[in-house]
Amino acid sequence: MTGQGKPHPRFYGTFSRILGHYVRDLGILPLSLAVHKMTGGPARALGLDGRGPQVERAGCVAVRLALPDGARALALAIGQPVQEVARAAAASTEPVVGDVCFSGKLAASYLTKDVWQTDVARFGIDIWMTTTAIANQFRTTQSFLGAKIHDAKDPSADLSAMLYQVVGSTFELMEAYADVWKPVRGSEPVTAFGFEYTVGLEQINVNTGRMLDRFREGLKNLREIWVDVLGAGDFREMERLGSLGDREFRFPLDLWTRIIYDYAIAFHQKKLPAEHLIKSLTPLYLGKTASFIIEVEHMGQQEAEAEIEKLCTEFEKNKDYLVASWK
């Protein structure tokens, strides 16, 4: 259901209004009753057995986390008996997950972690929640929710700050869970729930020329850092890329995986201050993204997804390089 102009409040944000205002702020509605009104009550009225009541039988509870900065995350364990974590599926180009629900057991585990005053909590809470659950052997699943709607953005716009936040959080998690990820090889699919259907994709105009200009500027302005982090051999390969015309520009998958692994290693070895190091990755990221856009420009959604899968496979294939250099 959609609303035009000024839609009625029941269209959007009803649950968050009840939980945030009437439960949390005014305290006039018990949390358990509010959750029942949103889950078990409607499920029973619609004859959907095994939904809300199943939560009680599975021992799952609704949990509200009062974070130190005043932000609150509410997670509702609903649907099938969610023993640990239910993770909403995100678009393949997203590094984080925007919608999650999890059990009381996992919430209790989160609260034992001393991260709430760190950059990870401020900037990377979504990826932290997902990685922490997996690394601590909680069961994870995903649910197909359709297309995630964003305001259209041109990747060539300045993204150094966002890249620092996301990549910095990822590298911090690699530090924390090195003993967990180093022995792992390969991957396996995550169980998915919900009806999957094809969604339309909005066309976004992207200035790949400007993105490649930023990459070529990096070859000149960041040469010393890139040679130090990546080595002279890979830097020469990037110089070769920089000499290509825009339409011929293709970023090799094996080169990109080595770049990301080399940056993770440099972060681990503290070669440079973290912010300085990660922000120097921005022109490289723009070059790789521009290459991807050029490659998939005339592809359909499934073909483009297949290209992303190739990159994931390349990261798996080259993981021994990362592990051997992690000292």
**140 versus 249: which is more confidently predicted?**
249
Residue 157 in domain: no
In the sheet that holds 100-102, the strands lie side by side as 100-102, 85-88, 140-143, 192-193
Q: Are residues 118 and 184 in the same domain?
A: no
For 50-107, write each residue's pLDDT tens digit: 444 443 333 333 333 332 333 333 333 322 222 222 222 223 334 445 567 778 888 8
Residue 61 domain flag? yes
Looking at the 3D structure of the chain, how many domains does it have?
2
Percent of the chain with pLDDT over 70: 70
Is residue 224's pLDDT more than 90?
yes
Closest by CA position to 95, among listed 119, 68, 70, 131:
131
Among the listed residues 306, 239, 314, 225, the one whose alpha carbon sits nearest the alpha carbon of residue 267: 225
Do 184 and 123 sit in the same domain of this protein?
Answer: no
Q: What is the pTM of this model?
A: 0.69
Do 183 and 315 belong together in one domain? yes
CA–CA dist 53, 80 (Å, integer): 10
Same domain, 123 and 184: no
Q: Are residues 47 and 118 in the same domain?
A: yes
The residues near 197 (Cβ < 8 Å, ≥ 6 apart) are 144, 146
pLDDT in tens, 235-290: 999 999 999 999 899 999 999 999 999 999 999 999 999 989 999 999 999 999 99
Q: What are phi and psi of 29, to 5 degrees?
A: -135, 125
| CA–CA separation, 56 and 45 (whole Å) | 17
Please tell me whether residues 185 and 126 are part of one structural domain: no
The answer to whether the beta carbons of residues 56 and 44 sit under 8 Å apart is: no
Residues 251 and 310 in one domain: yes
> Is 195 part of a structural domain of the chain?
no
* Full domain range(s) for residue 305: 179-190+200-325
Q: Are residues 110 and 224 in the same domain?
A: no
Same domain membership, residue 136 and residue 258: no
Bridge partners (DSSP) of residue 73 are 65
**Residue 228 and residue 116 share a domain:** no
pLDDT of residue 164: 83
